[in-house]
Structures are given as C-alpha cells and as structure tokens.
Structure 1
Amino acid sequence: MPTDGRSPADLAGTPRLPGNRVRSTKSVRAPREVQRKWLRTSVLGACAVLAGLLLWSSMGGDDGVTEVLAHRGEILPGRFIEVPCSEDYDSHRRFEGCSPRKCGRGITDTVITRDEAQRIRSIAEKGLSLGGSDGGASILDLHSGALSVGKHFVNLYRYFGDKIQTVFSEEDFRLYRDVRQKVQLTIAQAFGISASSLYLTKPTFFSRINSTEARTAHDEYWHAHVDKVTYGSFDYTSLLYLSDYLDDFSGGRFVFMEEGANRTVEPRAGRVSFFTSGSENLHRVEKVQWGTRYAVTIAFTCNPDHGIADPVFT
C-alpha cells in the first residue's frame, strides 16, 4: 500500500520517469485485485471481532476483568486478599481494636452450608412474594420492615399486620440470626478483631435481582460505589449468596474495581464474600442477563450507636 496517501488509481496516472517502462494493464490490475482481497479479509476480520465482543458482552463479560477471585465451581475453605486501607475511615470516629487497620477482601464456602443457604433463600422468597419491584431489583429488610412493592417501599410489618405470622416462622428468624452470627465471627477472625466489637448495622437486607428493565433509580444496582461513602456506618460488608451463577442466572457477578485490574466473585449458594467497606473496595454488580439472583447483604459497624438488633418474630 502507498505510504503517501495516494490510491493505486493515482499511481496509475503518474508520468513515466526516464528509463521506466510502461506497465501493462495486467500489471496494474494485479495490485487492485490484491487490494480488494485485503479489504475483504479486513472486513471479515472486523466482523468476526465485533461478533466476539457482542458475544462476550451478552455473556456478562467485562473487558476490564483480569482475574476471578472465586469461580463458581470452587469450594473455598477461605481466601483472603489484603489491600491498603483508604482514608475513608479517618473522617469517622475510630474504635480501637475494631475500626479497620487491616483492610482487604475474603471469600469462604465452608461457613454456611448449601442447605442453610437454601433455607435462608426460602425466607427471602416468602417475604418477596408479598411484593416485589416493578424493576429488576427487589429488597426485603427484616429489621426495618422495608419491602419493595411496585415503584415504592412499604413497611411489611405495618402493611400486612398479623398476616406476617402466617408467612414467616420463629424458626426462620432463628436461622437468620444463627447465620448472621457465623458471618460475624468469620469477619472478626479474618481481620483479627473481637466479634463482640462488631455490631450489626443498617441496611442489612435480602436482594432479588432479575433482568427486568429498571423502573426507578432504586432498580439500578449495577453502578460502582463505596459502602462507607454510601452508608457512613459501614465498616465491614458481607454478602451471602443464595443462588448459583450460570445455573440460576447469568451476569450478576460481584466486581471489585481496581485501576486496570477488576476482580470478580462468581456467586455460589452458601458462599460468603466479605470486605472492609472503604474506597479500597470500590465495587459493583454486573447486570443480570437472565434468571434470578438471590443474596443477603449483612453489614457491621464498630460504632455501637449505629448498631441494630436482630429481627424478632412476633
């Protein structure tokens, strides 16, 4: 190909210099045929690349993802990655022996059994059967009573009254408390703090996400955020997954976002993912492509003034 910007047609009209022989029609046609073949090959190659990108996107891919911290098929006794703490905690009251000095993220598949995860999921299913968002993301908060209904939230304890006792059982609330305590102990051990120094904090809630188009800002769960910035009380965040990536849904992976190196957690029923809540763990959730993703977010604070009690069956 010419490097001066001229086309083969331009070159065909270039005056002959002394000593040059006139090129035949056949010799002029040959470079054109080569160019056409090169162009066809380039177009086909570009189409193949585009098709590949579209397929990757449709599978929930993200070309910033460079590492999967936990594959869905793994059973992890425990995996912990330490990262430098951000300055987010400096603007909040510190509690010695609890406020993060060691920051990071961990994953374990051996704290909550898959049977426990299934039973916990049934609590979410029963509660969310009373409502559900018009968009793709619904929440159920047993502590505050918040429940997605249409484009709004209601307090399920006031809205449904005594009917709640026919939906949930004392065993449901006991299981919820036991699971919370196991997660709390896991976090304390991973970060070298006392479990008694951690307090459950709000919002702690079930989430149900599907591929339905968002109707309100509350349905747009996929935006990157920092928990400590969004909820000042958060010091440690955890998620207990209640469904399986690629079996129950596609997309919906949890993504820790770092400059040039995003890292994902593929949900698996019973898997607990936990992390310090500051900017060192900027994160998002991929959009769910199909199916339904269930999880429960359980957050902890070091500040007893921001603590909340376990929900009580009444």
Structure 2
Amino acid sequence: MAQDVKYKKKQEAKLQNTSSKNEDDASKPVPLRYGPLPKLKGQRIFSRIVVVISVLTYAWFFSPTQNNKKETALALQGYVYQSRGQSVKCDRAYLEDINKYPGCIPKKCARMINDEIVTQSEADILLWFAKRAMSFAKPKGGVTIMDLHSGALTYEDSFINIYKTSEQGFVTTRDLFIYRDVRNKIQKSIALAFNLDVTKLYLTHPTFFSRMTNKEPQNIHDEYWHPHVDKDTYDSFHYTSLLYLSDHNIDFVGGRFIYQDNLQNPKENVTVEPRKGRVSFFTSGAENPHFVERVTEGERYAITISFTCDETKKIADPFDAVQHAHPVH
C-alpha cells in the first residue's frame, strides 16, 4: 500500500515537470525554415516593392506589346482570308484632295487584305520573274528594287536598265501578261471594296518589285522600317496595294507589315503577316501610317502597285509600254 502511494506521487511529479517544460518550449520562438522574416515595417514595404518591380520588369521584357502599344493581327500567315478589313477615320487632308475626283471617292477609309484575288500559279510566275531579274542586281544594302515600267534595277549606288542589259530573254511576254492580269484584278478589287468607278482609278508611279534581306543598310532608302504615310511620300498616291510573293516565318523572319493608329504618337499596331499570293490594300492618306518590320533572316519578296484618281498622274501599263519601247518575246 505504501509503495503504491509513493509510486503515484512520483508519477504526478513527473507529469508536472513535463507540463512545465512544454510551457517553456511553447514560449520560445520557432526557427523559420527559410530564414527570418523582416521585423520592421520599412523592411516589409521594401520587400513588397522589390517583388512588384520584379513582376513589372518581367512583363516589360516578355510582353508582346512593349512600350504600352496594343498589337492586333489583321492577317496571319497560316490563315486564308477571302476578305478581311478594318475601317479607319479618313484623314482630313486626304479627303480634301480626293473629293476633287468624282467616282474615285471611297465610301470609307480602310485597310484590307484578300487571299483569293491572285492564284498561287500567278504568284509563282511573278516570284520567278523577280528572282531572274534581280539576279542582275548588285545592292549594297538590304533592299533591291525593280521597276517593271522603267526597267530600273538596283545596282550599287544607282540603277541599271534591265531592258538594256547584255543579257536578254529573262523578261518574257508571259511575265508581262501575268503582271497585267494581276494588276487588273487588284484594281477591280480595290474599286469594289471602296465603291469606286474602276474607270476612274489609274495606275501610277512608282510601281515596283522589292526584295528585303537582313543586310545592313547603306543609305536611307535601305531603312524601310521607318513609319511613313504614302501620300506624303508620293503625292500621286490615293490607293496603295501590295502583293506578297513569299511567306512570313517560312521564307523569311521579321518583315511584317505594320499599321499604326497615329504617326506622331502611336499607341496601337495592326499587323499583316505576308503570305504568298496575299493582296493587302489601303487608302494612302495619313489614316494609314505604316512601316515594314526589319527582316532578320531570309528574303522577303513583294510587289507594290499604286493607283491614283488624278488622270494626269497615270502611267501606261508596263506590257504596252515595254512592248513599244523594248519588244520582248
């Protein structure tokens, strides 16, 4: 009996010591797994600032819309569009000028693309013709220009005439026939899209083939990536069209056609990815400032075909002009 009492007291004492030790342990700080937290209010604020700056820095460098510019794709290379466009408010100076020409006033200003105007066969023939002709070029920079009307072809710091070279036979009647047919189809499509009288729309200068590469520029004409307005550069322009002869991200990298919402303070870009046979056209006033993104790899081929409403600024179809001045077979 006495032994039982003694054992019971011993157990109670042991429990009391254990409880006291647990209380002492609970009062001690628990070591943090990843180091101490900031103890001062200023330290916590500083930590939060660092996190915010890190997030903003990541967003700046990895966001596709840097410099606070929104970017929208009007046409992607991998899609085929029967007709797709975006209306824009006409520039006042453009309207004042074009209102002089009844039958050639657009029902709205816009930028349009269409992948079903030109066939792949037509695009292939024109591309092959451009490559043949440009094999005689000798550009110093990354841009080669060939004007089918005048025969001018980039050669070092000047031009040569492709119709007067010692090499003959690379301009064929078929090439000129295809060019004329394609030009007519584009002209009719522009008239239809903008509700124009097609007989009041005339081909104008310059109209040319272009090849762009990543070669370093040697003069201002090689720097095609500067935003501009066609009507400011060429007063005769009222409608601009481009026919692409190569594919974005297949034949070349970079080289997208980019519209801006404003030339002076752009905040939104609208992009067109070139696709072989794709036609892009637009009103040529300040409502459509644009530039071409720098080509970083490959070769980008296209044709610029321009139209005017001013009959005094029209030029002859190259087939008729070339056949008269330099007969080809």
How high is the TM-score relative to the length of structure 1? 0.81
Counterpart among 114, 119, 129 of residue 125 in structure 2:
119
Partner residue in 2 for 1:52:
62
- From the superposition, tell whether residues 249 and 62 of structure 1 become closer, same or farther in structure 2 (CA, over 3 Å): farther
Rounded Cα–Cα distance in structure 2 between residues aligned with 1:44 and 1:95: 57
Which stretch has the larger CA shift, 29-38 or 136-145?
29-38
Contact 1:198 1:300 (8 Å CA) reproduced: yes
Contact 1:133 1:152 (8 Å CA) reproduced: no
Partner residue in 1 for 2:8:
none
Rounded Cα–Cα distance in structure 1 between residues aligned with 2:67 and 2:52: 25
Rounded Cα–Cα distance in structure 2 between residues aligned with 1:269 and 1:198: 25
Partner residue in 2 for 1:230:
233
Counterpart among 124, 135, 150 of residue 141 in structure 2:
135
Q: CA deviation at 1:134?
A: 1.2
Partner residue in 2 for 1:110:
116
Q: Does 1:178 align with 2:185?
A: no
Residue by residue over 1:70-100, the C-alpha shift from the partner in whole angstroms, topping out at 9 and shown as x without a partner, is: 1111110111322221122324672101134
- From the superposition, tell whether residues 271 and 43 of structure 1 become closer, same or farther in structure 2 (CA, over 3 Å): same
- From the superposition, tell whether residues 62 and 185 of structure 1 become closer, same or farther in structure 2 (CA, over 3 Å): farther
Q: Give the share of equivalent positions with the same residue, in percent.
A: 43
Q: Which amino acid aligns with 2:205?
A: K
Q: Structure 1: where are the runs of 5+ without partners?
A: 1-23
Equivalent positions of 1:240-255 (< 5 A) are 240-255=243-258
SS in structure 2 of the partner of residue 187 of structure 1: helix
Rounded Cα–Cα distance in structure 2 between residues aligned with 1:86 and 1:101: 13
Rounded Cα–Cα distance in structure 1 between residues aligned with 2:260 and 2:61: 26
Rounded Cα–Cα distance in structure 2 between residues aligned with 1:63 and 1:115: 42
Q: CA deviation at 1:38?
A: 7.5
- Count of residue pairs the alignment pairs up: 282
Rounded Cα–Cα distance in structure 1 between residues aligned with 2:288 and 2:106: 13
Partner residue in 2 for 1:6:
none
How high is the TM-score relative to the length of structure 2? 0.77
Rounded Cα–Cα distance in structure 2 between residues aligned with 1:268 and 1:50: 30
Contact 2:98 2:105 (8 Å CA) reproduced: no
Q: Does 1:80 align with 2:92?
A: no
Q: Does 1:96 align with 2:86?
A: no
Rg larger for? 2
Partner residue in 1 for 2:208:
205
Q: Does 1:193 align with 2:196?
A: yes
Residue by residue over 1:119-161, the C-alpha shift from the partner in whole angstroms, topping out at 9 and shown as x without a partner, is: 1111111111111421111110011222111232233334x1x
Q: Does 1:288 align with 2:295?
A: yes
Q: Structure 2: where are the runs of 5+ without partners?
A: 1-28
- From the superposition, tell whether residues 62 and 140 of structure 1 become closer, same or farther in structure 2 (CA, over 3 Å): farther
Contact 1:85 1:101 (8 Å CA) reproduced: no
